[in-house]
Amino acid sequence: MPPLAERDVFAPAAPGTMLLGLIGSGIAGSRSPAMHVAEAAAQGFALEYRRIDLDVLGLGVEALPQLLDHAQAAGYRGLNITYPAKQAVIPLLDALSDEARALGAVNTVVFEAGRRMGHNTDASGFAAGFRLQLPGAAMGQVVQIGAGGAGAAVAHAVLSMGAAQLTIFDMDDTRAAGLAANLNAHFGPGRAVAGPALGPAIAAAHGLVHATPMGMAKHPGLPLPAALLRADLWVAEVVYVPIDTALLQAARAQGARVADGGGMAVYQAADAFRHFTGREPDAPRMRQGFLAAISHPGLT
């Protein structure tokens, strides 16, 4: 096995080709490489996007310092960062955007004149997808199920978009309480609460955000009893494989307005593309390509 610096992922790119990568675990199915490459091609410049998969390399987060050093030395323009490295990368950076600092998580690193700048586009990506798919949605009382990595970003987005109060549920009560405490420290006391009872909270809510893995092939089913859904409760989903989850189907069957998880997936990439390239992405074009790719996964 060659030393880490000599692995294929750290080979120089062809001259004139912008080099990007994704560091994470279990990222073989990520749509980010295809989205960035297709958008660059549509804008007429060459971009290569590599998966730096911790599982494939047989490494853990303790290897992050070397991975960033080697990527920077190899001429990478930047990196997306995903599970399990979004927090661990922070001490390795020179500066953080306000949003990344507030979230305590980084999903985009840009190498600029020898410095490493950390951004977070998960919350802004969720917000952009939400506004597109649920324009004018009432933001008074919102319930969120799921307080993990994605949940922290979308909760931040929901309060930033003006929700008066967010009630958070998680099968792990301490996670819900911890996220509520972090949000209150940032947005002010009382803006977030860890919910004691789901039924009454949903009965009083304008909208529901779902941020657990329920609905994916490995976690089939609904994250709540279908009887709690109703026509005047909008539902925003983070799961995007499948794009039309059982929850979205059940909500639509009640006549509710819904937003799929593809919005966050596409707009976090579009916002990262802007940071990496300094160019304005055509986000609707990226969404079109994304939807085509996930409905025909074998073709890309």
* Binding of residue 147 to ligand NAD (CB under 6 A): yes
* Binding of residue 212 to ligand NAD (CB under 6 A): yes
Residue list 163-182, contact with ligand NAD (CB under 6 A): 169-172, 175
* Binding of residue 151 to ligand NAD (CB under 6 A): yes
86 is catalytic: yes
* Binding of residue 183 to ligand NAD (CB under 6 A): no
| The one among 80, 121, 167, 268 contacting ligand NAD by CB under 6 A | 268
| The one among 239, 251, 259, 270 contacting ligand NAD by CB under 6 A | 239
What residue spans of the chain are helical by DSSP H?
A: 32-43, 54-57, 64-73, 98-103, 122-133, 149-160, 173-187, 198-203, 246-253, 262-277, 283-295
Please name the residue that has the structure tokens 């085509």.
292
CA distance 14 to 185: 47
Active-site option among 70, 77, 86, 257: 86
CA distance 16 to 46: 7
* Binding of residue 33 to ligand NAD (CB under 6 A): no
| The one among 145, 168, 251, 283 contacting ligand NAD by CB under 6 A | 145
Cis peptide before 242 (omega within 30 of 0): yes
DSSP state of 23: E
Closest CB to ligand NAD belongs to which residue? 148
Residue list 218-237, contact with ligand NAD (CB under 6 A): 223
Residue 146 or 281: the one with the smaller Cβ distance to ligand NAD is 146
* Binding of residue 84 to ligand NAD (CB under 6 A): no
* Binding of residue 108 to ligand NAD (CB under 6 A): no
Closest alpha carbon to 64 in 75, 43, 79: 79
How far from chain centre, in Å, is Cα 157?
11
